[in-house]
Amino acid sequence: MFKPTEDFAKQLDQNDELSRYKDEFYLNEGQIYMDGNSLGLLSKRAEKSLLDVLDAWKIHGIDGWTKGEHPWFYLSEHLGERVAQLVGAKAKEVVVTGSTTTNLHQLVSTFYQPEGNRTKILADELNFPSDIYALKSQLKLHGLDPNEHLIRVKSRDGRTLNEEDLIEAMTDEVALVILPTVLYRSGQLLNIERITNAAHERGIKIGWDACHSIGAIPHDFHDLGVDFAYWCHYKYVNSGPGGVAGLFVHEKHFGTEPGLAGWFGSDKTKQFDMEHDFTPSESAGAFQIGTPHLLSVAPLIGSLELFEEAGINAIRQKSLRATEYLMYLVNEFLSDFNFTVGNPTDDARRGGHVCLEHAEAASICKALKANGVVPDFRAPNVIRLAPVAFYVSYQDVYKTVKIIKDIMENEIYKQYKNERDVIA
């Protein structure tokens, strides 16, 4: 299928229907950006929409809440309607608000209702630390000991989760399940349908952390009956550092009062009545807490245009082919240097990045940066490489692997300490 030549990479690019989008993004000359699964690049359209919102503030002042191209008062809900296509939701089931961890706190506060024997939250030992911090603090707020009431399902290999183990852990003591759609280190994509069905068959609500899948992988949260989900937009969705996050709540839960009530979760027609009795919105908008962060949400307006044009299914197909090509080249060129591919190789189980493991991973990442490639290091030994569909070409993938080979052959990595920087 593939060939280990740069001419073949050029041929793949010529046949890539998404290649035209690379010019939409700001790329440093001579640099290959393989870290879009950590922070996506700025697009020209995201830049424009940010400037548009600034102009609205400049022109309208406080009237920007109801005037201009994107009235601020309704923006979180309107953007939620547009994001819904990326997660397979109905328009009113998604709202753009908060941060990932704030939204997790909101959703757990709402849907974690310990009663009788059902007091435990089920998670996993490979999840991103912030999720675990939040779950532990939520248990403490209920007067429960996290050491006893937080179940973290063990990994058999230190990289991936076995779905049988997850389902087996769903006992009659579990009140809530929180899992990642894609594991942040290894890039394993879990079977959301199977695991959701298993939870519901046992009378357990389930929520999904979609930070490492939204914008790279299509979802069907509504049709699968997922209770809730939450995510950031600054990775594959390219909304900018600290960009406002999003959440999904299935319509079957509309009318459930948020665990953490806030003014912007109000019914819009009653919000300015200034009553002390909270009337929540009859949509996912009810789960907002504070005033929208307009200048942090503005880039998402333009970024979503690209997804609406390209389509998430085409993006997924490019991502699958690019990651497959990357793994092929690793096998062709790096087999003599003790690298291991730590992500699942099967398309149905692979997210949007390749997990390349090596004992000298931190120093290799530093050498890559010094040679024009931006990777991502994750302790203890992972080099994450994300050939993002919009702005990483097949030639970029080819060049990246060739640069790694040169770094290993000439022992360039030995010039750097094999330890992470303050930010990895």
The annotation status of 375 as a binding-site residue, yes or no, is: no
The annotation status of 129 as a binding-site residue, yes or no, is: yes
The annotation status of 212 as a binding-site residue, yes or no, is: yes
Distance CA 83, CA 308 (A): 9
The annotation status of 131 as a binding-site residue, yes or no, is: yes
SS (H, E, C) the chain: CCCCCHHHHHHHHHCCCCHHHHHHECCCCCCEECECCCCCCCEHHHHHHHHHHHHHHHHHHHHHHCCCCCCHHHHHHHHHHHHHHHHCCCHHHEEECCCHHHHHHHHHHHHCCCECCECEEEEECCCCHHHHHHHHHHHHHCCCCHHHHEEEECCCCCCCCCHHHHHHCCCCCEEEEEEECECCCCCEECCHHHHHHHHHHCCCEEEEECCCCCCCCCCCCCCCCCCEEEECCCCCCCCCCCCCCEEEECHHHCCCCCCCCCHHHECCCCHHHCCCCCCECCCHHHHCCCCCCHHHHHHHHHHHHHHHHHCHHHHHHHHHHHHHHHHHHHHHHCCCCCCEECCCCCHHHECCCEEEECCCHHHHHHHHHHCCEECEEECCCEEEEECCCCCCCHHHHHHHHHHHHHHHHCCHHHHCCCCCCCCC
Q: Nearest-CA neighbor of 35 among 136, 184, 152, 154?
A: 184
The annotation status of 101 as a binding-site residue, yes or no, is: yes
The annotation status of 377 as a binding-site residue, yes or no, is: no
The annotation status of 234 as a binding-site residue, yes or no, is: yes
The annotation status of 227 as a binding-site residue, yes or no, is: no
Q: Are the C-beta atoms of residues 190 and 161 closer than 8 Å to each other?
A: yes
Backbone angles phi, psi at 157, to 5 degrees: -125, 0
Distance CA 258, CA 74 (A): 19
The annotation status of 209 as a binding-site residue, yes or no, is: yes
Which segments are annotated as binding site? 100-101, 128-131, 209, 212, 234, 263, 291
Which segments are annotated as binding site for pyridoxal 5'-phosphate? 100-101, 128-131, 209, 212, 234, 263, 291
